[in-house]
Structure 1
């Protein structure tokens, strides 16, 4: 793996971004915007950015709760707190990431957005608004009913995706039903960009998060991480990493 520099916080306007960049002299494969779950920018989210950095990507995580002056909220407060956000605000945060990456020399055609839980929802909505290299949603909810008043449910815009999209879902997810997974898979096939939805039997919500042992599924996490990396490489045109994808986990 490549070495990288320590995560730093930068700002684009009023939006803080945690940035994990490859070592000086290393040309990144491209950029990846990582949108966290309902807790915000956690140690887990930073570890995802660091792993992507070590694989040669310029990764950053927008601070989605910056309007409240906080970086992270407790898990017990996350579900309620995320509903105080807006789709417009999240898109502004993603736009800030796109702006910073552009200033760093990374074009939108070489930039991906990935997200977890609520962040997976935001990544999907971004894929319907922007033309980017790739988008990946780990168990993004709001499939049939929206989280925010200013956003449609995912099914309503599934056919309008403008960015190649990969969905990674657990079939025992209490936030997204098996029926919704099937409906979303069918709806995204109508988009005019490549799409794929992979579901894991027995896996629960947050199966990729090791700091949540009650729901973490190591086998599903490894497979999903590898699929994500292949999706990023395929649709960004980057060369495959030398390290086996199966070795990287969340």
Structure 2
């Protein structure tokens, strides 16, 4: 496995991205979408883990229009919120498309590319799966279920239009995503013409997959969610 930092072109200027390459021929591509804290070391590590599992993975710095900041975990969330508020779905999809184009240039067809996102990126993964015919999508605790984000309608409203097999992973102790909304999303996603699944972890909080955040990291939930993610990709992007 190897990793590099690349610069992609967008209509709003250059965008940095981390790219992790597997040791052998990749079995497909994954766009890893950042948390609200930016392109953190944790997200880069997720790329490495995908590469170790045989996938070429790219994580774009979605905050590139405001200087690509990376915010500390546990810091003042005001600046994080302000950075998020600069994003809209059209810009985000352009960034996802640029990331997918790099994977395509290296020989990966669109139907062999998944989008996997965490926190804010989980919302992006769902939005991308509504607007793009991906190979698969996975949302780790992505919000905006009932109120919408980035100028999009609430995820509960758009989930019936999912174009890609979609897996949602949520913690019941997530203070920002009520269980009732997760269940409404489950029902809405079932109306889509693609396979969908929602998994809930009773003892998990928001950010449960992030081992860089000891206060919320849940090893059992994280390990199960990661295994389910790889299984989901294997099932819907077969070799």
Q: In the alignment, what sits opposite 1:248?
A: none
The question of whether the paired residues in 2 share the 8 Å contact of 1:83 and 1:147 is answered with: no
Partner Cα distance (2:83, 2:205) in 1: 21
The question of whether the paired residues in 1 share the 8 Å contact of 2:63 and 2:83 is answered with: no
Residue 136 of structure 1 aligns to a residue in which SS? strand
Q: In the alignment, what sits opposite 2:7?
A: 10
The 1:187–1:118 alpha-carbon spacing in structure 2 relative to 1, beyond 3 Å, is: same
Residue 65 of structure 1 aligns to a residue in which SS? helix
Partner Cα distance (1:214, 1:129) in 2: 35
- CA drift at 1:205: 0.3
Q: In the alignment, what sits opposite 2:50?
A: 52
Partner Cα distance (1:10, 1:84) in 2: 21
Matches within 5 A, 1:1-250: 4-13=1-10, 14-23=14-23, 26-75=24-73, 76=76, 77-148=79-150, 150-238=151-239
The question of whether the paired residues in 1 share the 8 Å contact of 2:19 and 2:59 is answered with: yes
Instruction: State TM-score, norm by structure 1.
Output: 0.90
Partner Cα distance (2:50, 2:217) in 1: 20
Residue 8 of structure 1 aligns to a residue in which SS? strand
Deviations 1:26-61 (A, max 9, x none): 210100000011011100000000011111110000
Q: In the alignment, what sits opposite 1:246?
A: none
Instruction: State TM-score, norm by structure 2.
Output: 0.94
- CA drift at 1:71: 4.3
The question of whether the paired residues in 1 share the 8 Å contact of 2:35 and 2:119 is answered with: yes
Partner Cα distance (1:81, 1:212) in 2: 21
Partner Cα distance (2:139, 2:213) in 1: 18
Residue 207 of structure 1 aligns to a residue in which SS? coil
Moved over 3 A (4+): none
Partner Cα distance (1:214, 1:178) in 2: 21
Partner Cα distance (1:211, 1:158) in 2: 30
Q: Which runs of 5+ in 1 are unaligned?
A: 239-250
Residue 57 of structure 2 aligns to a residue in which SS? strand
Aligned alpha-carbon RMSD (Å): 1.2
